[in-house]
Amino acid sequence: MEFIKPGINIDFIGKRHIAFAFSGMMIIATIFLLIWRGGPNYGVDFSGGVLVQVKLPQKMSPSAIKNALRPVQLENSIVQEFGGEGQAEYLIRIRQTDVELTGLSDRVEQALNSEFGKGVEMRRVEMVGPKVGDDLRQKALFAIFYALLFIAIYISGRFELKWLMSIIMAVSLAFVVYITSTWGVSVTWLILLALIVTLTLCLFLNLKYALGAIIALIHDVTITVGVFALTDREISLSIIAAFLTIVGYSLNDTIIVFDRIRENLRRFRRRPFEQTMNASINETLSRTILTSTTTLVVVVALFILGGGVIHDFAFALLVGIIVGTYSSIFVASPVLLIWEGKFGKRVKGK
């Protein structure tokens, strides 16, 4: 099935400067938002504390709910709406880790009932200690990082047949991570340093396909985190699973484009590199749009009908699929062109 007829010739590569400017503004906005908010809005899974989900008989403002919790000394909790419109469900996030859990559900229910009348439903009560939350956060960051690293190794071997270079990169990176971790560096800075080292090794080892794919994946995850910061959504374990799903989906789309670029480079050796890339993107455009559209239909259905439990998970996938499709065309492929223009001639000359 062809959504777009063969022979279409849209100048995607010619618009790369506009795309780079747009992506750059999105990433800068994400960094600004994270600095302004003091980092991502971690859920109880990562920050520790107690999470209480309640359903009220009617919609109330977060400030009214906080006032209702004053008799049980929980007025400093963070209250967020949960679920769809008109559901009157709320998440009460208690950052205190020394709260007495015994009878907590009954105390909260009684306080809310006395303020808003009968009909309060207690949906769940969860607690995560600060140490457990910190360990989970570190493991989540490492999961995302190692996913990107193994993707770099796979693409280097798959497209450039440089398995030895990939192994060298992995060993070098493992050494850097091990040495840096012994210095007591925080896991966030450790991951950032490791990503910088990964990109630098890709550059110096001439792993251009891996470089393009990693930059595109970092772009996708960063912008998705930025959208979560903009909408004040929590990042929990399920959202980390969504980020890893986005990485896999975006990579699949990028590999399709890269594969066609590699085939056309072999077939049309004398054609300018920019022209070959543009033709390859246009040839895979129908498949890209069909894949993205069918996946989006499912994700939109989950987002609308899935309920509050997977609402944020579906939202992350929704944003990630759109951004991932965009990056496969306007980020990953133009990185190859930049590499070819800056370093390709120098490598060929050697």
Cα–Cα dist 86/104, whole Å: 26
For range 133-150, the mean pLDDT: 75
The answer to whether the Cα torsion of 348, 346, 333, 214 is positive or negative is positive
Under the banding of pLDDT at 50, 70 and 90, the label for residue 5 is: low
Q: Return the exposure string of 49-71: e unless at least 16 CB atoms fall within 10 Å of the residue's CB, then b.
A: bbbbbbbbeeebeeeebbebbee
Q: What's the pLDDT at 299?
A: 92
The pLDDT of residue 83 is: 65
Query: What is the predicted pLDDT for the residue at 277?
Result: 87
What single-letter DSSP state applies at residue 72?
G
Taking residues 164-186, what's their average pLDDT?
Answer: 73
Instruction: Tell me the H-state helices in the chain.
Output: 16-37, 44-47, 62-68, 104-116, 130-160, 163-181, 187-204, 208-230, 237-267, 273-283, 285-305, 311-327, 333-339, 345-349
Answer yes or no: are the C-beta atoms of 135 and 204 closer than 8 Å.
Answer: no
pLDDT exceeds 90 at position 90: no
Beta-bridge partners for 125:
52
State mean pLDDT over 224-239.
87
**Best-predicted range by mean pLDDT among 43-47, 99-103, 241-245, 334-338?**
241-245
What is the pLDDT, as a whole number, of residue 131? 66
Checking DSSP bridges between strand 121-128 and strand 78-82, what pairing results, if any?
Answer: unpaired
- Alpha-carbon gap, residue 162 to 153, rounded angstroms: 9
Contact, 94 vs 313, CB < 8 A?
no
177: which strand partners?
Answer: none
By CB atoms closer than 10 A (0-12, 13-18, 19+), residue 179 is: exposed
Q: What is the mean pLDDT of the chain?
A: 80
State how far the Cα of 236 lies from the Cα of 164, in Å rounded to an integer.
37
Indicate whether 12 pLDDT > 50. Answer: yes
Query: How buried is 75 (Cβ within 10 angstroms: 0-12 exposed, 13-18 middle, 19+ buried)?
Result: middle
pLDDT value for 27: 93
Q: Which two tokens stand for residue 299?
A: 């994700």
- CB within 8 Å of 48: residues ≥ 6 apart: 95, 97, 128, 129, 130, 131, 132, 133, 134
Residue 3 clears pLDDT 70, i.e. is over it: no
State the pLDDT at residue 236. 81
pLDDT in tens, 20-56: 999 999 999 999 998 888 888 877 777 777 788 888 8
Pick from 23-32, 105-114, 226-235, 257-266: least confident = 105-114
pLDDT of 226 reads: 92
Separation of CA 207 from chain center = 24
- pLDDT tens, residue by residue, 157-173: 777 777 777 777 777 77
259: buried, middle or exposed (CB in 10 Å: 19+, 13-18, 0-12)? middle
How would you label 307-344 residue by residue, b for 16+ Cβ within 10 Å and e otherwise? ebeebbbbbbbbbbbbbbbbbbbbbbbbbbbbbbeeeb
Q: What is d(CA 126, CA 93) in angstroms, rounded to the nearest whole number?
A: 10
Chain segment 299-348, per-residue pLDDT in tens:
999 888 877 678 888 999 999 999 999 998 899 888 888 877 665 554 44
pLDDT at res. 342:
61
What pLDDT does residue 347 have? 42
Classify residue 284 by its DSSP letter.
Answer: T
Burial of 125 (C-beta count, 10 Å sphere; 0-12/13-18/19+)? middle
CA distance 85 to 169: 50
Domains contained in the chain, CATH given: 13-43+132-162+205-349 (1.20.1640.10), 49-128 (3.30.70.3400)
Quote the pTM value. 0.79
Which residue has better confidence, 227 or 127?
227
Quick one: three-class SS letters along 188-240?
A: HHHHHHHHHHHHHHHHHCCCHHHHHHHHHHHHHHHHHHHHHHHCCCCECHHHH
How confident is the model over 211-219, as a mean pLDDT? 87
Flag the least confident range among 16-30, 38-52, 213-227, 254-268: 38-52
**Average pLDDT of 97-116?**
77
- Residue 132 pLDDT grade (very low, low, confident, very high; cuts 50, 70, 90): low
CA atoms within 13 A on the CB side of 1: 7
pLDDT at 323: 93
